[in-house]
Amino acid sequence: MPLDTRARPVVPSVGLQLQLDSQGRVLQISGPVRHSLAHPLSGSTARHLSEYLVPGSRLAVEGPPSEWHGHSLDLDFTGLGATTLHLRGWAQPAEDGWLLQLLDIGDLLQERQQAQTRDTCQALAARCSEQLRLCSLTRLPQVLREQLQDLAQHWRIPCVAIALLDEAQQDWRIHSHYHAHDAPRLWHTDQSLGTGLDSLDGSRPHVLHGVQSAGLDPRLRDIFAHAEGLLVPYRDAQGIGAWLLCGFYPAVQPAPALGERDWLLLLAALAGPLLGRLREQQQQQQLQRLDALQGLLGSGWWELHEGVQLAPQLARNLHLEHAHLPLSEWLAVFHPVDRAELQSRLQDLLQCDRPLLLSVRLQARDECQAPVWYRLQGQMLQLGEQRRPVGFMLDISDIKNQQQQAAAAHARLDNLIASSPAVIYVQRYEEGALQPCFFSDSLLPLLGWQLSELTETSLIERIHPDDRDLYFVRTRQLLREGSVRARYRMRDRAGDYHWLLDEARLLRNDLGLPVEAVGLWLDDTEATLATEQVRQSEERYRILVEDSPAMICRYRPDLTLTFANRPLAKYLEYPPEQLPGVDLGSWLSAEQRAAFLLRIQQLTPEFPVSTAEISLQLPGREHAWWVWSDRGVFDDQGQLLEVQAVGRDNTEVRRSQQQLMQSAKMATLGEMATGLAHEINQPLNVMRMAVANMLKRLSNGDVAADYLQDKLSRIDTQVQRAARVVDHMRVFGRRSEIEQQPFNPTQAVEGTLALLAEGMRGKGVELRIHHLDIEVQVRGHVDQLEQVLINLLVNARDALLSKREVQQAFEPWITLRAEADTRAVRLWVEDNGGGIDPRLLERIFEPFFTTKPVGVGTGLGLSVSYGIVQNMGGQLSVHNAEQGACFCIELPIVPPT
């Protein structure tokens, strides 16, 4: 529609005037506001009024202007720079159309919105302040976070936090924070922010526009991750106490109605109660610490006002029922010795304003209890318009008791120094030298000198000339290392020298410079002389041990040598220095080692000595026998620590004994020759008669197979009988083995009977054998035990035959029986020959002693038999029974393995 260019009446230009046609199209725009419109009137085509309005504005313009008449219109026009113009007006008829007059109401709307925002802000602040004031101290962190969450959600803040100063008031830290679920976390609790916030003005909020924020500390931009943000301070009487941090938050856009006062109000509602509650919490903690400290120290305050007012903890420590009590009851708590002085000092405090300082004891509740001491201090204090005596009490029982103990210890030390046999001295350090300045009272009875007579020069003159260089070395070492131990001789007043053991220590000051030397002299004369005597005795002992012909050594319970003298090393063909650590059992057989260890294990503190004969296997040499004596060394618990042993070579004696036993054995065989010849002749006679009968039958031609077989079997039986006798004679006649072996003693009995039984019966001697079925073992040589039994049986036989020559009707017999228990086995040989003269019983086992005629016996049989049984660990004894002599062989049983 073409614009109307006809002249129209002039209207006063106020606000904005729009000339509209009947359809609501704008024909003309006037008024000062027209310059702020985003779409000025231009072109030949008129635009409808709605095109000038902000889309979605509060009032929709519908219908022709005639329908607007009489209504107040609030219209939002699009302004320059995407701003909005808030206008209010009315439509009235005009020539050829309508005139719309509008006034700018933006300021009114802004003021109303600010007022609403302020009311909302004040309500929110009041609610936050009330929540923080009313909650308990334990729920304070949770309630604070809830208020931050309400603040963030109400004003659409992604990240919000409260920063407070730390306890040292030097560093800002995040006290509490909140962030939306879709926002990144900028801060964490107790995060240090440094001191960058101190550079900001604390009277107004600060807005950060990302990296474009000029003039700000770079550390602040790091706090906000170089994003936009808002910092609001809280200031109270003590200065800036808190900061409100809003991250990722351009405050102008989401909250344009919030001014600086509103932000300050919101933070004050949070920070004011929070700091108050935190101070309250800190005060409570300080009171708790104070109460705990008073309880630990046993201290507390007191005040004189209408009696005595005590701290609750102090009243409990004094076992008082009430903290407020009369002065007389308070004084009754203290010991009567200190009560009068305390009362006098309190009077001086009240009247003369003289400070009170006194240590007092409490009245003892138990006579056995150590006294309880308190340090009581007080002064006049101005409390308002009044002056009152106030003070504190501190439990100093430990200190007092320690002082008393220290005093007692000091007295004991003084007494000890005065009565000590050692001389305690102090040497003062002066210009690089040590000058004597103190000696204890024991110097006079020891050396006869006094302190005035022992200067540095005179002290050196009294030292033995041969020891003065040693004294100078002692002094230099003391100054260099700080401690020294030396021994030298010093002359006393009588001119005699004493060996002194000198131990000293150098004391230094805080700068490390020498101050004095403290030490003692101990008279070591007797100990030194005794040591010299011991050294000389040890030298004599060493010579005695090393030059002794005996073999001397020490070894541990496992037979490891710890010492061996030269004779033992020479015998073993070992270097003396290499013997320690060598196993002594390496020269013993397995049986000998086991027996050796068993004997060592049987040593006890009550029976520490054991003696035995041991057999050694020396490489390249024959067996050696030693007579070995051990003595155990035990600790306080009876545990065997070491064994000291002395041995001598018994090889030649043992070989002589073996030769003697062999000679005795051969003599026994000689004595048995007649019986053995009869034992062999008997089967020979039987074989001769059998052969004669066989030859006679053969000559007659009357030989049957059965007859020949019977005769040949008899001949074979007699040959075996003779062979057994000959074989046993051969076994019996050879030398015994070196090592003893376990065997059943019935073997020796059977061998003895094999050699003597037939001969005994042939001579009319009856053998009575009883209880020989024993199943035990003894250790030794079976042929040697057989030799003992043969000697006993042959002696009994000869005695019986001699008696029968005198008494023709005499019927001789010999009994051989055995018995055993858990410890030993006993073999008894008894006859009816009338016994042995009691005067000869004590000499019967002596070598070469015999009752037989000259040339008949050697006198070695019983002596050798006694040695054989003793070598097997047993005992051979004899006594007279009812009808004759009775010999007993007792041998220890070898326990089963």
Residue 667 has pLDDT above 70, yes or no: no
Report phi then psi at 376, rounded to 5. Answer: -110, 125
Report phi then psi at 40, rounded to 5. Answer: -70, 165
Tokens representing residue 596 in the block? 């050796």
How many whole angstroms separate alpha carbon 580 and alpha carbon 555?
Answer: 9
Higher per-residue pLDDT: 45 or 404: 404
Short-list 253, 232, 254, 251, CA closest to 243: 232
298: left (phi over 0), alpha (psi -120 to 50) or beta: left
Higher per-residue pLDDT: 229 or 541: 229
pLDDT confidence of 212, banded at 50, 70, 90? very low
Residue 830 has pLDDT above 90, yes or no: yes
Are the C-beta atoms of residues 894 and 779 closer than 8 Å to each other?
A: yes
Task: Report the pLDDT value the prediction gives residue 214, as an integer from 0 to 100.
Answer: 47
Residue 416 has pLDDT above 80, yes or no: no
Q: What is the pTM of this model?
A: 0.37
Residue 123 has pLDDT above 50, yes or no: yes
Residue 507 has pLDDT above 50, yes or no: yes
Q: Which of the 8 DSSP states describes residue 859? A: S
Task: Report the pLDDT value the prediction gives residue 2, as an integer from 0 to 100.
Answer: 37
Short-list 672, 699, 614, CA closest to 648: 614
Tokens representing residue 539 in the block? 């030298």
Task: Report the pLDDT value the prediction gives residue 8, as an integer from 0 to 100.
Answer: 43
pLDDT confidence of 488, banded at 50, 70, 90? very high
- Please state the rounded mean pLDDT for residues 562-578: 84
Are the C-beta atoms of residues 868 and 846 closer than 8 Å to each other?
A: no
pLDDT in tens, 234-264: 888 778 889 999 988 876 666 666 778 888 8
Task: Report the pLDDT value the prediction gives residue 281, as an integer from 0 to 100.
Answer: 81
- Segment of 100-114, 246-260, 314-328 carrying the highest mean pLDDT: 314-328
- Segment of 38-47, 181-190, 725-734 carrying the highest mean pLDDT: 181-190
Strands of 730-802, DSSP E: 741-743, 766-770, 778-780
pLDDT in tens, 792-829: 888 888 889 888 888 888 999 999 999 988 899 999 99
Task: Report the pLDDT value the prediction gives residue 855, as an integer from 0 to 100.
Answer: 43
How many whole angstroms separate alpha carbon 873 and alpha carbon 33?
Answer: 145
Angle between helices 140-154 and 106-134 (to 10 degrees): 170
Short-list 747, 710, 743, CA closest to 732: 747
Instruction: Please state, for a pLDDT cut of 90, what percent of the chain lies above it.
Output: 13
Distances from the Cα of 838 to the Cα of 104, 562, 594, 848, 875, angstroms: 165, 53, 42, 19, 20
SS (H, E, C) 283-342: HHHHHHHHHHHHHHHCCEEEEECCCEEECHHHHHHCCCCCCEECHHHHHHCECHHHHHHH
Cα 469 to chain centroid distance, Å, stands at: 48
Task: Report the pLDDT value the prediction gives residue 560, as an integer from 0 to 100.
Answer: 92
Weakest mean pLDDT among 547-556, 707-716, 850-859: 850-859
Angle between helices 651-671 and 782-806 (to 10 degrees): 40
Higher per-residue pLDDT: 563 or 5: 563
Task: Report the pLDDT value the prediction gives residue 3, as an integer from 0 to 100.
Answer: 36
pLDDT in tens, 625-648: 788 889 999 998 989 999 989 888
Return all residues near 310 (Cβ < 8 A) that are at least 6 apart: 300, 301, 302, 318, 320, 323, 324, 325, 330
Task: Report the pLDDT value the prediction gives residue 662, as an integer from 0 to 100.
Answer: 59
Task: Report the pLDDT value the prediction gives residue 205, as an integer from 0 to 100.
Answer: 84
Task: Report the pLDDT value the prediction gives residue 472, as an integer from 0 to 100.
Answer: 92
- Segment of 56-65, 200-209, 336-345 carrying the highest mean pLDDT: 336-345
Residue 739 has pLDDT above 70, yes or no: no
Residue 886 has pLDDT above 90, yes or no: yes
pLDDT in tens, 268-313: 888 888 888 888 888 877 777 777 666 666 678 888 888 898 888 8
- Segment of 67-76, 127-136, 820-829, 840-849 carrying the highest mean pLDDT: 820-829
Instruction: Please state, for a pLDDT cut of 70, what percent of the chain lies above it.
Output: 83
Task: Report the pLDDT value the prediction gives residue 677, as an integer from 0 to 100.
Answer: 56
Are the C-beta atoms of residues 140 and 132 closer than 8 Å to each other?
A: yes
Return all residues near 60 (Cβ < 8 A) that are at least 6 apart: none
Tokens representing residue 757 in the block? 């039984």
Strands of 751-867, DSSP E: 766-770, 778-780, 813-820, 824-831
Task: Report the pLDDT value the prediction gives residue 682, as an integer from 0 to 100.
Answer: 60
- Please state the rounded mean pLDDT for residues 328-353: 89
How many whole angstroms separate alpha carbon 242 and alpha carbon 173?
Answer: 10
Are the C-beta atoms of residues 316 and 292 closer than 8 Å to each other?
A: no
- Cα-Cα-Cα-Cα dihedral sign, residues 218, 223, 227, 228: negative
Tokens representing residue 459 in the block? 């002290």
Weakest mean pLDDT among 686-695, 703-712, 855-864: 855-864
Higher per-residue pLDDT: 856 or 603: 603
Strands of 509-548, DSSP E: 514-523
* Bridge partners (DSSP) listed for residue 234: 242
Are the C-beta atoms of residues 506 and 478 closer than 8 Å to each other?
A: yes
Burial of 14-49, coded b for 16+ CB within 10 Å and e otherwise, reads: ebbbbbbbeebbbbbbbbebbebbeeebeeeebeeb
Average per-residue pLDDT in the chain? 80
Residue 612 has pLDDT above 90, yes or no: no
- 659, HSE (Cβ side, Cα atoms, 13 Å): 6
How many whole angstroms separate alpha carbon 844 and alpha carbon 862?
Answer: 7
Taking CA 724 as the corner, what is the angle to CA 719 and CA 725, rounded to the nearest 5 degrees?
Answer: 100
**H or E segment and range at residue 429:** strand 423-430
Higher per-residue pLDDT: 514 or 457: 514
Q: Which amino acid belongs to residue 291?
A: D
